[in-house]
Structure 1
Amino acid sequence: MYGIVNRAIEDLVTTNFGEARWQAVKKRSAVDVDFFVSSEPYDDDITYALANAVSEEMNMPLQDVLQAFGEWWILKTGKEKYGGLMQAGGKNFKEFIVNLPLFHNRIMFMYPKLTPPEFKVDHLTDNSVWLHYFSKRQGLQEFVRGLLTGLAKMYDVHITLELLQSRGSGSDHEIFKINW
């Protein structure tokens, strides 16, 4: 993953818990990087180690950490770093979700070594959609759940999410049913 992801984890921890807790997370994770360069790729293991260390250091289930980070990514990092791109995603929550399959195509211009997830939308109605999430990375479905709740907050929409299938139960990808 790119450094911007790891920097966002650092920002989430320092903003909510302070610099001392971030240093404790770094020590616990055994990640020996002084400063993450946003535009540089880093091994995925670093990001996973940081997320696990936050979970342990804050005594929070990893799924809660990933959900919180997904929301933070949208509401803080996304707005600050990609404001125009986020706004171009759609004028409302439904439009953004429908346009989501194309979103990472635009991001790849900025981060050419990106290995993005893929999204597919089906079962679209006036107030619901099924979102298919495909990724080579395992264990990030709760991060995606956080991204979706962050998007809903960004558009001031109440949503409910139901995980219809997951790789954890033998499928090849996740499907979220989103109602608003």
Structure 2
Amino acid sequence: MAKYLRIFNFLWKLRRVEHALIGAWKTMKPNCITSHSFTKLQRALKFQLVSTLRRCQVLWDEMNLFVTNLQYYIMFEVLEVSWSDFSDEMDVARDLDDLLAAHEKYLHSIVEKSLLGERSQLLYKSLFVLFDLILRFRSHADRLYEGIHELQARYIFNFVINIFVIKGQVLV
């Protein structure tokens, strides 16, 4: 049961990280255009803002590429191949002992190829550190883009106030 739990936790965390990256993209994508709305900002501030947004998008792209490739590897090079081997061994199993041995071999194959085995502990821990960093990136990106929305709202508010002041109207 411990092997199943280890595999499940790994696959669940991988899916969670993928979902976090998709959520970050949904937050970031609409803001690709918004950098153009800061035409009145100081040149240095605008450059810094656009540069930061670009770095976030490049970092997101690198993380997404890594997660996508890892998912591909796990699904097609680990799970599919291991299942195919297990199916072949089930077909030739003569008794319950052969079936149990094939099942144990199947689980062992998944654990080892997924970098979850004893020989891959350092890599396993590094993967989970990367997963945690990706999840932290999501929360930082959300906060950054919340700040951008707030800055835009202030800019629009000040723009509207200036229009009323120029026209000599009093705001109540």
TM-score by length of 2: 0.21
TM-score by length of 1: 0.20
Bigger share in helix: 2
Q: Which structure has more RCO (C-alpha within 8 Å, separation ≥ 6)?
A: 2
